[in-house]
Amino acid sequence: MSKDLSNYRKSYEKQELLESNCPENPMEFFQTWFINADNSNMVDESNAMNIASIGIDGFPKNRVVLLKKYTWEGFIFYTNYNSEKGKAIAANNNVCLSFFWPALEQQIIIKGKAELLAENLSDGYFESRPDGSKLGAWASNQSSVISSREELDNNLKDFENKFKSKEIERPKYWGGYLVKPISIEFWQGRPNRMHDRIRYTLEEDFSWKIERLAP
């Protein structure tokens, strides 16, 4: 089975990205772009981001997770620490995050180091989740092989009974990561594939070097 995709083309013409519009700190720039995407009625799940890690098998792997908070320090997401991505991060905490908003012809690529979030912060976020999501964190041994969907549903029922009329506490194997960026690239689509690419790189004195990259 084959399909010729060579004629799939789109001209990117909505915006431009110039150095004169770039603030000194990329987190400020990220906030501007993110708020714009979040307020756009053309973007679904503006906080959906791809995270790439190096697996313990030596292969890189990408998957989509949800950004739950960003601060001046970096980007926060939550997962099962025993999952494939959790084990990968434990072995090598160099990761890459990326956001792609096709409707805005924009993407952001972030290289950084993932660190475990403080337990009290993971507790606080877990408490804010709906009960169904809390129980799901208990019921799913994320990334492990299971025999059937029925096994998963039965696990959920077991934990529904266990926590019936009780507070659903956070499993110790579930929590957050803070990704501290060392480089952030902002990409704006432009006509004729002459895209704008501006990269911020963290310097030893914690200032940010701003460079334009060829498309």
Point out the residues that are catalytic.
193
Residue 79 host element (H or E): strand 75-80
Query: Cα angle at 110 between 106 and 112, to 5 degrees?
Result: 175
With a CB cutoff of 8 Å and minimum separation 6, the contacts of 75 are 49, 67, 69, 97, 110, 112, 178, 179, 181
CB within 8 A of 122, min separation 6: which ones? 78, 170, 174, 175, 176
Amino acid at the residue 145: V
Of 37, 60, 62, 57, the residue nearest 47 (C-alpha): 37
